[in-house]
Amino acid sequence: MTGSDERRLRWAADLVNTDIMKANLRALRTGLLEFFLESLVGDEITALHSGKPGPSDFSHEDFLHLQQMIKKLLGGLLTGDREGVRVQGNMSVVSPLGSWTDLYLRGPTQDMVLFNIGLLLLKKPHSQIKRCEAKEGSGRCEKLFYRYRGQRFCSRKCTNREMSRRKRKSDREKEATRQRKKYERKVKATHGENVKIQTRKRRK
């Protein structure tokens, strides 16, 4: 998988977690257009958008619907859901120089985004698509994200929150151990070194 492929998958995963209605529409459209421009390089199968709305015409509502479809497609990888998403388009086969064949699919912008994501996932094991396991309240964050290198959580915010939580837990355990040793020394000083001290189970 090329750097371009990884960028496009990260774009798709990032879009799932974007607050669409608060996002800059021009920036959203630029990202969508770049997604298609990068899909034109080096692939024998190409999915191109046709008709309206095109990438430069997409509204916030169009992006909201696209977001839900990408979320369903990527989420299905992790749940084993085989229902998937429906796409439509017109297929053509082209042999530019007679030595190889290129496959083209043209259709609505949203459908071609989803089809391109499917092509990308054929190249890259879906183990790169993760759900964030950072604890959040009584549950977990569970946002979808594309795992880049050693990334473990969906965002810097979740990473910082999880690291802080783990540090607090570690500090509590160290303090409990310190208090336990202090208690044992006190008991042994009173009753002798051979006294048996019962260990209480720690609360989780």
Question: What does the alpha-carbon distance between residue 76 and residue 16 come to, in Å, rounded to a whole number?
Answer: 14
- The pLDDT score that the predictor gives to residue 176 is 82
Q: 152-157: list long-range contacts, CB under 8 Å, 24+ apart.
A: 154/17, 154/130, 155/17
Q: What is the pLDDT of residue 42?
A: 58
Q: What is the pLDDT along the chain (204 residues), one digit of tens a residue?
A: 567 888 899 999 999 999 999 999 999 999 999 998 887 655 677 888 888 899 999 999 999 999 999 999 998 888 877 788 889 889 888 776 666 677 888 999 999 999 999 888 887 666 788 889 898 878 889 899 988 877 889 988 999 988 887 788 888 888 888 888 888 788 778 877 777 777 666 555
